[in-house]
Amino acid sequence: MDMMRPMPLPRMKEESEPQDAGAPIAMSVRDLRAGYGGAPVLNGVNLEIREKTVTAIIGPSGCGKSTLIRCLNRMHESIPGATCDGEILLGGRSALELDPVLLRREVGMVFQRPNPFPTMSISQNVAAGLVLNGVRDRALIAETVEKSLRRAALWDEVKDKLDAPGVGLSGGQQQRLCIARALAVEPRVLLLDEPCSALDPIATGRIEELLLQIKDQLTVVIVTHNMQQAARVSEYTVFMLMGEMVEYGLTRKMFTQPADKRTEDYITGRFG
Amino acid sequence: MKRQFDADLEDLRGRLLRMGSLCEEMVHYAVKVVVDRDDSHLPKVQDWESQVNSLHIEIDEVCLRLIALHQPAAGDLRLIAAAIKINSDLERVGDQAVNIAETGVYLLKEPKIKLGDIPRMVEVAAGMLKDSLDAFSRGDVELARDVIKRDDEEDRLKSQTFNELVHLMQRDASAIQRGMDIILVARNLERIADHATNIAEDVIFMVLGKDIRHSAEKL
């Protein structure tokens, strides 16, 4: 009869326990205030982004989510009249005191519209960051181009036309090319500002798959208007409203059991 | 402006409550077959069962459609998840009511037998079912907790009924058939109370997002 006894199943983790509780912090944001020409956009945001996870930032237009990620690699301050105050730590170092160029090597960014360099080939696009950083070793460049295109799930589609212009690719491929370009310099953090908003559902699906694959290697922060996308790809979600962070927590909890009524109203489409 | 999705959720709630009130009626009249020894109620109980079965399928279809078309989240998602489970519980309550009515019809062919705690079991189970549905309708967590607490009383009454009937059957072999039938009625009533408990647990999940099933410190 013993043979009939079912094998004991492994105990499942408590739902309330984050899968990566205690994961190191990749970036810390403390009392971040930012704005444009005196008009405040972020009113004191505090956030700890966990290493090697995907964190999604959601919220209605104008809530400050793009400003927040643009502060993380100091793109924000490149706009005339932009202000930024507070503390941003990258592995214990103050991002606001680092050389912005060096910071952006560690904190890469991909934008809403794919923006490959128009005069460059596919491989030149991917290698651009390395070349700018003075790398001349052709073998190393070729190796990095292949590795980055593979990580961006684009290699199989372009391996036979690496010298073709980057802008000749489809929209979804161009966006993955931009991700490959960002990955080529081995950033610790990859910021994506609505990377799929100009893509069709199939191209969007590929980008989401690739985010799930690369998150074991680096920290991803994605701003998205698509709540289902946030739910699918991220482990943590930040909900922002009018320059404030309303709620930050495990995505699976936020989408089933949000703590704040405003989050509930937003994710169930009852906002406003 | 009321959104179509809100109207759809309201419609889902309405269908579940209609199914719930049909089940309450079924239990009420099924028990009358046993307690009042009146088999005239059987046809309507059977007729309502077919309505409950149709609603069972309809409600599942509505839930799947809402999930597929609206990708609900948070409270909306919990409402739909609870609706799917409550739908199954109510369908089983309908089946149990039919079982009780049909057992009652068999009992009519036999001499009367003492019903013991059956009337009290009816009161507890029917009260739990009604209150679980009221708790669902109003999102009333306190009422749902109260329903869950009452399940122990129903279990105690069932055990007591079993014991009394076993003694009776040991003393009087001619009462075995009737005794077994009453045990079946008690078993069905106890199951109805269990389904009401499940519904109450689903209400707590729906309102608070807290899953209290199989938990030592339930309440």
pLDDT for res A7: 55
pLDDT, mean of residues B23-36: 97
- Mean pLDDT over A133-150 rounds to 94
Q: Find the residue in A nearest to B71 (Cα).
A: A228
pLDDT of B146 higher than 50: yes
Residue A227 to residue B74, Cβ atoms within 8 A:
no
> Can you tell me the distance from the alpha carbon of A171 to that of A115, in angstroms, rounded to the nearest whole number?
10
Search chain A and give the residue with CA nearest B78: A256
A237 Cα to chain B: minimum distance (Å): 14
Instruction: Work out the mean pLDDT of chain A and round it to a whole number.
Output: 91
First to last CA, chain B: 39
Q: Which long-range contacts (CB under 8 A, 24 or more apart) does A14-19 make?
A: A15/B211, A16/A253, A18/A250, A19/A235
**Does A231 sit within 8 Å of B74, measured CB to CB?**
no
Residue A54: is it exposed, middle or buried by C-beta count within 10 angstroms (0-12/13-18/19+)? Answer: buried
SS3 A271: coil
CA A158 to chain centre: 24
Residue carrying the six token digits 């239990």: B27
Judging contacts by C-beta atoms under 8 Å, the chain A residues touching residue B212 are none
Report yes or no: A259 at the B interface, CB cutoff 8 Å: no
Q: Decide which of A129 and A272 is more confident.
A: A129
Chain A residues inside the 8 Å CB shell of B75: 264, 268
Q: What is the mean pLDDT of chain B?
A: 95
What average pLDDT does range A27-44 have in this prediction? 94
CB B144 within 8 A of CB B132: yes
**pLDDT over 90 percentage in chain A:** 85
pLDDT computed for residue A6 by the predictor: 56
User: Phi and psi at residue A243, in whole multiples of 5°?
Assistant: 80, 5
Q: Which of A237, A267, A268 is best to mutate for the B interface (most B CBs within 10 A)?
A: A268
Residues in A closer than 8 angstroms to B139, CB to CB, are: none
pLDDT at B163: 95
**Distance separating the N- and C-terminal Cα atoms of chain A:** 63
Smallest CA-to-CA distance from A203 within A168, A161, A154 is with: A154
CB neighbourhood size of B163 (10 A)? 11
pLDDT score at A14: 41
CB B73 within 8 A of CB B209: no
**Chain A residues in contact with B71 (beta carbon < 8 A):** 227-228
By the 8 A CB rule, do A240 and A57 touch? Answer: yes
Residue A13: pLDDT above 60? Answer: no
Q: How far apart are CA A268 and CA A263, in angstroms?
A: 8
Among A15, A256, A270, beta carbon nearest to B77: A256
Q: What is the pLDDT of residues B151-196, one digit of tens each?
A: 999 999 999 999 999 999 999 999 999 999 999 999 999 999 999 9
Task: Please enumerate residues of B whose Cβ is less than 8 A from a Cβ of A.
Answer: 3, 5-6, 71-78, 209, 211
Residue of A257, A265, A267 to mutate, testing the B interface (most B Cβ within 10 Å of its Cβ):
A257
Q: Which residue of A has its CA nearest to B1?
A: A270
pLDDT value of position A16: 38
Nearest CA in chain A to B211: A15
Averaged over B103-109, what is the pLDDT?
94
Structure token digits, residue A90: 């990258």
Statement: residue B134 has pLDDT above 70: yes
Contact B209 A256 (CB under 8 A): yes
- Which one of B9, B67, B70, B77 would you mutate to disrupt binding with A, by most A Cβ within 10 Å of its Cβ? B77
- Listed residue (B121, B122, B106) closest to B179, CA to CA: B106
Report how far residue B140's alpha carbon sits from residue B134's, in angstroms, rounded to the nearest whole number: 8
User: Averaged over A62-81, what is the pLDDT?
Assistant: 94
pLDDT of A207: 92
Residues near A197 by beta carbon (within 8 Å), at least 6 away in sequence: A112, A224, A225, A226
**What's the confidence (pLDDT) of residue A5?**
58
Residues in contact with B99: Cβ distance below 8 Å, sequence separation at least 6, in sequence order: B184, B188
User: Of A12-16, A42-46, B41-45, which gets the smallest average pLDDT?
Assistant: A12-16
Q: Which of A231, A256, A267 lies closest to B78 in CB terms? A: A256
Confidence of residue A18 (pLDDT cuts 50, 70, 90): very low
Q: What secondary structure letter does DSSP report for B35?
A: H
Do the Cβ atoms of A256 and B71 come within 8 Å?
no
Q: Which of residues 214-243 of A touch B (CB under 8 A)?
A: 227-228, 231
In this complex, which of B3, B73, B209 lies closest to A227 when CB atoms are compared? B73
Residues A96-111 pLDDT 10s: 999 999 999 999 999 9
- Residue B215's pLDDT is 81
Residue B218's pLDDT band (cuts 50, 70, 90): low
- What percentage of chain B reaches a pLDDT higher than 90? 91
